[in-house]
Amino acid sequence: MSIERVGIVGSGIMGSGIAQVAAQNGFEVVLRSRKQETAEATVAGMEKSLDRAVEKGRMEQADRDATVARVTATSALHDLADCDLVIETVVEDLEVKKRLFIELNSACRDDAIIATNTSTLAVIEMAVEVNHPDRVCGVHFFNPAPAMKLVEIIRPLTASDETIAEIRSFVETCGKDPVEVQDRAGFVVNALLFPYLNNAVKMLEKGVANRDDIDTAMKGGCNFPMGPFELLDLVGLDTSVSILDALYQETRDHNYTPDPALLRMVAAGMLGRKSGSGFYDYNK
């Protein structure tokens, strides 16, 4: 089966970004949100982002119009019935995602691939909720999806070779670079990245160096584009704590226990860029 029509469930940061990527690369897209207004507002936001690309000369007007024409907004799950691939991008909560998989099992075709964009959760836990767990996998786009080249393809124990081959072909048609990963918390990127970010917080707390010097050291010494505190603020400290918690739950490795300083900052509402302050102050 070749993938032509793609359903995106959830219209947050990742849902809107993946919908745009798929539509720009020739796929018909059905964007489903729980509320019709939200789905329509997300498509309107995508149109604005494409308009900016045209203004800056990065996209032709005709390509922008063709991309927009390929996207339909809906609140009805049954509108996903014709989709060859459905990617869920709802909140990082296993119970919410499992309930959604049960609904998708009824709404989608038997031979549709159902994929999750989870950052850390066990894909197998979602796969066992549907009649065809061989048609379930993870497809982990990065933020912002239109700009980031990497996509981790997650293979739960139940996935068939055919499913993984079809999803790889979809990812490549989207112009992304896929890597295939076993179904382990954090996959490759977050499993390696988050102990480093957590250890940067521990180092700051011990007073080994100050915030700016740690960020400067990692940019200058490792050629990283951002220091650990700049990156934590970009990801969001609440999201970072959820990722560390999921890694700890699976491994029981204390290297993944969120540093108490992170927990206190989340409790204070200092979530990083999205709340206006985190390790840095964005209100200045």
Ligand X SMILES: NC(=O)c1ccc[n+]([C@@H]2O[C@H](COP(=O)([O-])OP(=O)(O)OC[C@H]3O[C@@H](n4cnc5c(N)ncnc54)[C@H](O)[C@@H]3O)[C@@H](O)[C@H]2O)c1
State in Å, rounded, how far the first CA of the chain is from the last one.
53
Q: Which is nearer to ligand X, 64 or 101 (CB)?
A: 101
Residue 117 interacts with ligand X (CB under 6 A)? yes
In the set 16, 33, 119, 275, the catalytic residue is 119
Which window, 139-147, 175-183, 196-204, 263-271, contacts ligand X (CB under 6 A)? 139-147
> Catalytic annotation on 131?
no
CB of 82 to ligand X, least distance (A): 21
92 binds ligand X (CB under 6 A): yes
Active site residue 152: yes
- Using CB under 6 A as the binding rule, the residues of this chain from 193 to 252 that contact ligand X are 235
Q: Which of 4, 12, 58, 281 binds ligand X (CB under 6 A)?
A: 12
25-54 binders of ligand X (CB under 6 A): 33-34
* Residue 11 annotated in active site: no
Q: Is residue 119 among the annotated active site residues?
A: yes
Indicate the residue among 126 and 265 with the shorter CB distance to ligand X.
Answer: 126
Q: Which of 16, 33, 117, 190 is catalytic?
A: 190
CA geometry: angle 211, 213, 214, nearest 5 deg? 65
- Determine if 143 is a binding residue for ligand X (CB under 6 A): yes
Tokens 């709802």, residue? 90
At its nearest, how many Å lie between ligand X and the CB of residue 49? Answer: 15
Nearest 10 degrees: Cα torsion 271, 277, 279, 280 = 150
CA–CA gap between residue 211 and residue 96 (Å, rounded): 36
Among 20, 24, 67, 119, binds ligand X (CB under 6 A): 119
Under the criterion CB under 6 A, does residue 10 sit at the interface with ligand X? Answer: yes
By CB under 6 A, residue 90 contacts ligand X: yes
Cα–Cα dist 225/267, whole Å: 28
Q: Looking at the annotation, which residues are catalytic?
A: 119, 140, 152, 190
Binding site for ligand X (CB under 6 A): 10-15, 33-34, 89-92, 96, 117-119, 140, 142-143, 235
